[in-house]
Amino acid sequence: MKKLFLVALLFGFSPMFAQDDNVDLTPDNSWLKVGLTAGLPVGDASDVSDFTVGADIRGQYLFNPNVAIGFASGYTHYFANDDFEDFGVIPAAAFFRYYFTPDGLFFGADVGYGFLANIDNNDGGLYLNPQVGYHNRDWNFYAYYQNTFAENDLNLSNVGVGVTYNIRFN
């Protein structure tokens, strides 16, 4: 059921990513975001891990001053407790952001697939990552909740904070 939901959701986003010959990418409407995250595992993940760190990369296109879409990936590393091995999540996701003002509050969400690293008998599953934060022309500071609804009723979740730097396309 989760895979069916994921496929339906991705096809629902596909019109947003359709080719348009009139799109002009400029430093004012498109950029690459690179950053770091740190978090605390919650739910199933908190039984085997105490801390997470991650790296994010995002490509963003700003439709207007308030609405942006793009792709998101990276890696979240879960540091395991004594009797377990470290593991991670590699997302492949689309994202949406709403900016209330040119500098200030934003909210957004990543939706896609989370590939699991170093977990036996489980490839991954539906990946969700809602965020709320502050942004300006160069930086984004945010709080997030990240969850991968993996196979075999395994949910890998963490809450944390992140920061990204905007690299403008020329």
pLDDT at 127 over 90: yes
Whole-Å CA distances, 162 to 39, 50, 109, 112 = 9, 17, 14, 19
The per-residue pLDDT for range 35-44, each reduced to its tens digit, is: 999 999 999 8
DSSP SS3 for 169:
coil
**Lowest mean pLDDT, pick from 3-17, 34-48, 109-123:** 3-17
* Rounded-to-integer distance, Cα 29 and Cα 11, Å: 24
Separation of first and last alpha carbons in the chain: 43
Summarised one tens digit per residue, pLDDT across range 35-82 is 999 999 999 899 999 999 999 999 999 989 899 999 999 999 999 998
Give the C-alpha separation, 69 to 46, whole Å: 31
The predicted-structure confidence for 146-155, as pLDDT tens digits, reads as follows 999 998 888 9
Task: State the pTM of this model.
Answer: 0.84
Q: Give which of 111, 108, 153 is closest to 131, Cα–Cα.
A: 108
Contact 58, 95 (CB under 8 A): yes
